[in-house]
Structure 1
Amino acid sequence: MATLDLAAPLRQWIIEQAQAGREPMDVVDAMVVEGWPQEKAVDAVQEVLQALLVEHARANGLPEPTVVPEPMERGGPHLLDGGDRRVPVLANLKHPRVVVLGSVLSDEECDGLVALARQHLSRSETFMLDEGVSKVHEGRTSEGMFFTRGENELVRRIEARLATLCAWPLEYGEGLQVLRYGPGAQYKPHFDYFDPAKPGTAGILANGGQRVASVVMYLNTPEAGGGTTFPDVRFEVAPIKGNAVFFSYDRPHEMTGTRHGGAPVLAGEKWVATKWMRLGEFV
């Protein structure tokens, strides 16, 4: 978005509204009442608030925030456009930025991904940023595999839906990862971004830059356990077939509150597909 030529008094007014705790869309609505076109009002509020966040980060020695995927406007509709289907919002957290989505995938799509992935599973690995390599780690006890982006018609359809839903370029997404968790399997709480302080991070960021959002889609409903947990805010998403949880992180820092994990499966098995979104094109 190009920088707007906003008068200093307007910028200051928007800052004062934010500091007073007003929601961004309430500020936009007030500007529309004063004659601003809604699209320009949204751009103005976004620009001023983003600049405010950058200023705060620089003043406090924090990573600067970036623009991230966003499936819904604050205060916006609760039935979202996925291109080829409408997707209902089931839960909506502001911080951490978490949106629980219903019926992102059909039963047939879930079953299709499981069938395609099942024959290619191997023990899941974790990228060890201290060493710059992927290896099996005790904190992650699932089996998994990756599809390359656009590998088949089913994957292409799902990827296009997610790109539309999250308002993020398809080319900025990693390939889908499918995971199977058997009884007792889990993924201990962690962050999905790559820690810039670790020696192995520079190499992995060379392709696509930093991760900025995750979408975890549930391909079946386990008999018990297996929820996606956000322990810092005591929030857990039930793993219901076809549903998904989206969460974004505007900087690689724990202040995003997006530490999450896969709770142990207590009965049955759990299948998920994960899409990670990057700041730039991933090849």
Structure 2
Amino acid sequence: MTKSALSSLPNEWQSWITENLARSCEPDGMVSLLVRDGRFDIGLARAAIEEASNGAFTADVPAAKEMPYIDTSANVIRTADREVKVLLTLRQPHIVLLGNVLSDEECDAMAAYCEPRLVRSPVVNDADGSMQLHQNRSSRGTMIQRGETPLVARVEARLAALAHWPVERGEGMQVQHYQATNEYQPHFDWFDPALPGPRKHMDHGGQRLGTFILYLSGVESGGGTSFPSIGLEVFPNKGGAVFFLNTDKQHLPDTLTLHAGSPVIEGVKVIANKWLRARNY
């Protein structure tokens, strides 16, 4: 018996296709991910997605895995030391815009602490997992180890409470400094499991399931966090944050989370990234 296009794919990719179609993901974007770096033939990818969208294939959807989440049932989230405002939520992809996550004093202290350590920000090399400079990312940044200072530990505990996710499953924070013209062109935070470089990073802590972007400053013009696949742009508001999930409930990449740090036009933008992993990191 000849296999259909969809059933010829590995089970995890069958589930990924059906799940993302159910979430109204763009088929062309899904095809692009499937054929990236020669993973699957484009004809097979298109046929499999078309088959799934027409209901010709019914797959058992695996049970959902544990995921971080922010409770948006109320307009204010009360943590142990702060009242955080829920300003906006989006279901697909899951994005939450938050206000009053940090005080002005906390923002200023974190930015000042990192200022002497800033260097040009690298990206992950897809081939070997090394960190390399790339023209797509022109900011300067530095890593802060988990619990490096009492302030860092306090903020990490607050984020863990907001996301219902253990501190131990978070990377250290990455502080980024964007001057005029600096940007980070569209990219994903999730690791592509089909590429050897990102796979090396998954060996320690697993996939990046969620992202916090903390705004340690405002900016006069430009510098938004844009999500081009869904037409959304979040502008920096000091003390606020945006949180989004990078994967679906099976920990498979969500292509709708493509995002960018838009060029700063006037002023300086300072942010802190916090990535939440599937396992202890």
Shorter-chain TM-score tier: 0.7 to 0.9
Quote how far apart the aligned CAs of 1:131 are: 2.7
SS of the residue aligned with 1:109?
A: helix
Structure 2 vs 1, CA of residues 223 and 196 (structure 1 numbering), >3 Å: closer, same or farther?
Answer: same
SS of the residue aligned with 1:233?
A: coil
The letter of the residue matching 1:98 is I
**1:191-225 per-position Cα deviation (integer Å, ceiling 9, x unaligned):** 10000010113321111111000000101111100
- Kept in 1: contact 2:173–2:273 (CA 8 A): yes
Alignment of 1:1-283 (within 5 A): 66-73=65-72, 76-249=73-246, 250=248, 251-255=251-255, 257-282=256-281
Structure 2 vs 1, CA of residues 234 and 135 (structure 1 numbering), >3 Å: closer, same or farther?
Answer: same
Q: Which residue of 1 aligns with 2:37?
A: none
Task: Tell me, in whole angstroms, the C-alpha distance in 1 between the residues paired with 2:264 and 2:132.
Answer: 22
Quote how far apart the aligned CAs of 1:61 are: 11
SS of the residue aligned with 1:215?
A: strand
- Kept in 1: contact 2:208–2:275 (CA 8 A): yes
**1:225-275 per-position Cα deviation (integer Å, ceiling 9, x unaligned):** 0010011110011101000000012334244x1111100000011000110
SS of the residue aligned with 2:199?
A: helix
**1:28-86 per-position Cα deviation (integer Å, ceiling 9, x unaligned):** xxxxxxxxxxxxxxxxxxxxxxxxxxxx9x9669998633211115xx11211332111
Q: Which runs of 5+ in 1 are unaligned?
A: 1-18, 20-55
Task: Tell me, in whole angstroms, the C-alpha distance in 2 between the residues paired with 1:191 and 1:181.
Answer: 19
SS of the residue aligned with 1:71?
A: coil
- Kept in 1: contact 2:221–2:265 (CA 8 A): yes
Quote how far apart the aligned CAs of 1:96 are: 0.8
The letter of the residue matching 2:103 is S
**1:98-141 per-position Cα deviation (integer Å, ceiling 9, x unaligned):** 00000100000000011100000000000112232110011100
**1:155-190 per-position Cα deviation (integer Å, ceiling 9, x unaligned):** 000000000011000100000110000100000111
Structure 2 vs 1, CA of residues 59 and 182 (structure 1 numbering), >3 Å: closer, same or farther?
Answer: farther
Displaced runs of 4 or more, over 3 A = 58-66
RMSD over aligned CA atoms reads 2.1
**Percent identity of paired positions between Structure 1 and Structure 2:** 42
TM normalised by structure 2 equals: 0.76
Aligned residue pair count: 224
The letter of the residue matching 1:207 is H
The letter of the residue matching 1:221 is G
Task: Tell me, in whole angstroms, the C-alpha distance in 1 between the residues paired with 2:129 and 2:66.
Answer: 27
Structure 2 vs 1, CA of residues 94 and 143 (structure 1 numbering), >3 Å: closer, same or farther?
Answer: same
TM normalised by structure 1 equals: 0.75
The letter of the residue matching 1:174 is E
Q: Which runs of 5+ in 2 are unaligned?
A: 1-21, 23-54
- Kept in 2: contact 1:71–1:80 (CA 8 A): no
- Kept in 1: contact 2:180–2:267 (CA 8 A): yes
Task: Tell me, in whole angstroms, the C-alpha distance in 2 between the residues paired with 1:62 and 1:121.
Answer: 45
Structure 2 vs 1, CA of residues 253 and 267 (structure 1 numbering), >3 Å: closer, same or farther?
Answer: same
Structure 2 vs 1, CA of residues 178 and 86 (structure 1 numbering), >3 Å: closer, same or farther?
Answer: same
- Kept in 2: contact 1:63–1:253 (CA 8 A): no
